[in-house]
Amino acid sequence: MGIGGLDSFLHSLLLLPQALNNETKIGVEGVELSQFLILGVGLELQFTRLDFLRRNLLLQLLDAVIEHELELLQLLSLPLQLVNFNLSVSDLSIFLSDMLMERLYLILETLHCVLLLFNLIVLVIDISL
């Protein structure tokens, strides 16, 4: 083996660690890329979780607002029920007043008939005398 053959042999021996080094770098870069992808997926999951929590909070807030509005409407219905009761009492009072007026009218009519009858009796007595 001459110097040229030894040189080429040594050169090929040097290329082997360099190739292994390059393959190792590619493997490390693949692992780093996988770690970045895993980190990206983890961040996406965290953002999704935060979005879910935000929506859940908004729904709880909306539920509380609706619950308080319902309580307010229930409280506002109490004066309306009182007004309704007062209107019912007023209607009953008007009905009773109408009935009283009808009775008074009947009494007046009866008195008018009695008066006419009395006048008729007086007239018959006058004529007979």
- State residue 4's pLDDT score: 67
Q: How far apart are CA 30 and CA 23, in angstroms?
A: 10
- State residue 2's pLDDT score: 57
Q: What percent of the chain clears pLDDT 70, i.e. is strictly above it?
A: 97
Q: How far apart are CA 15 and CA 12, in angstroms?
A: 5
Over residues 60-94, the pLDDT tens digits come to 999 999 999 999 999 999 999 999 999 999 999 99
Mean pLDDT over 23-42 rounds to 90
- State residue 102's pLDDT score: 96
- State residue 58's pLDDT score: 95
Does the pLDDT at position 1 exceed 70? no
- State residue 69's pLDDT score: 96
Q: Is the pLDDT higher at 1 or at 101?
A: 101
